[in-house]
Chain A
């Protein structure tokens, strides 16, 4: 599966005219990521070429966002934190204890955000990104699949 430049341009136009800021398209192993206002070009990934990449769809965020910029809360800055493995997701270290993180909490890349249990083996999961927790889609005690979104973080600029 591949898209011609014209088709990409057409899809880009549709996005521009829409109310959405971001578009992730996946058809038969082809992934197209578009984001409004992004300085990076549209990115196409062929699965066969990107063998072994995680299911995580990483929005293209320029690394050189500029040191002067404060953490900007913008739709485009939402980043998914995917489950690194299949297992039962726990938001707290033990039942009854407060969760590792709540919506609104600041996280660093190495902040523990939860535990995934695989057959009594507890694996800590870290945010892997710096920012503010915006959303926690994964339910406490539920099965999460490999690559499933555990939380969404509004990315802060690099310090």
Chain B
């Protein structure tokens, strides 16, 4: 089916970014926006904006039927879900299939296969990808016996969770019974699925993920890895590619494992396979994200591939236009996520009116943002303001460009985590490369005062 008009069922920077590619491709754009976003940058850029409901996500961006109705009424041939919201809800993919609307993403069955973390684990094992020791548990007794085998520390994870949500860390077995009960009830409320499983926690690990594209008929290519180890409470803050200091052979094995996993699903579209790499350079499958990811620009600047354009081409029936041999990676790229969060107040979200926004420019700098002076940051949605991406032939130059980019960024009216990024970019361990996922917690424990002192612009 030829796609001529795309309904974008998202907001913020990713809606803005999707509109940009649609325009470059000559596609009309219809933005499905909540009442709180009718004045936003993507609403101004889209050919048409349709108000889908009030600000609260449950009344607008999360309403599957309303989104499909908006696409039918527009009428749009395709829906791009972005990330978050409905992007990994099989109900939307399925309703699109039923109404002959192209869903720019994987099939509903593929979304389901990776949304169930136990099924995804089993699929990984089936193609000989190591998983962390763990198992599903349906009672406290079962949990205790599984936990004795795994050992502590361990994680209680929601089967329907993912993306850092629905996890509890257990240091001692005595904490387990209470944690299981709480995790199950929270998972039931948050994901509509109360099942939980246990998994060994690797404390000193790096989070490495691999970008893939699949044609939906069994052919999959990979576009290299991203190191997303700079996280705070499982939320990524800085991503880079290539993963610094990771042995070439290990990288190669990660790439191959990601392709194998996606091939098994006959995956369609853009997706990411996430792994943990421990201190002994052993790697384990974590999960697959069946959507475009926040940090996709890191891969785009390194490979020169417009991932959103490829998503649209695959969804529109053009298939996978690239071969593995077409993918050439050049240089190093780093991305910093600028959030409306106040580092001085435990990174509390800081909604409000942006009175000034200055974003960096210069060689190798890309900024994906929807924020300018006068923009509102509503309290209902995530706090991402901008992604600053620095690209250079080598990591040292990329770091220097990022350092200058952060220094020349300024946002007033809302607090931002820019001081946090400035702090990390001055940190010897980060500059040396290859920090693990504990890095941010340790840094903030040691240096919280420095972040506080530097806060707010």
Contact = CB atoms under 8 A, between A and B. Distances in A.
A4 interface: no
A143 B74 contact: yes
B376 A118 contact: no
B422 interface: no
Nearest to B65: A119
B363 interface: no
* Main SS at interface, chain A: loop
Size bin of chain B's contact surface: 20 to 34
Contacts of B50: 86, 143, 145
Contacts of B95: 119
B376 A85 contact: no
B39 A86 contact: no
Interface in B312-343: none
A135 to B, nearest CB: 20
Interface stretch (A46-54, A65-73, A105-113): A46-54
* Main SS at interface, chain B: mixed
A147 B49 CA distance: 13
Interface residues of A, number: 23
B55 interface: yes
Given A29-B353, A88-B73, A147 B51 contact: yes
A52 B54 contact: yes
Contacts of B65: 118-119, 121
A148 B35 CA distance: 11
A28 interface: yes
Interface of A: 1, 28-29, 47-48, 51-52, 54-55, 85-88, 117-119, 121, 142-143, 145-148
Interface of B: 35-36, 39, 50-56, 60, 65-66, 68-70, 72-74, 95, 351-353, 374, 376, 378-380
Given A86-B73, A119-B68, 13 more contacts: A1-B374, A47-B376, A48-B378, A51-B36, A54-B54, A55-B51, A85-B66, A86-B66, A86-B69, A118-B66, A121-B65, A146-B35, A146-B53
Those 8 A-B pairs whose CB atoms lie nearest each other, nearest first: A143-B73, A119-B65, A145-B51, A146-B51, A146-B53, A118-B65, A118-B69, A86-B52
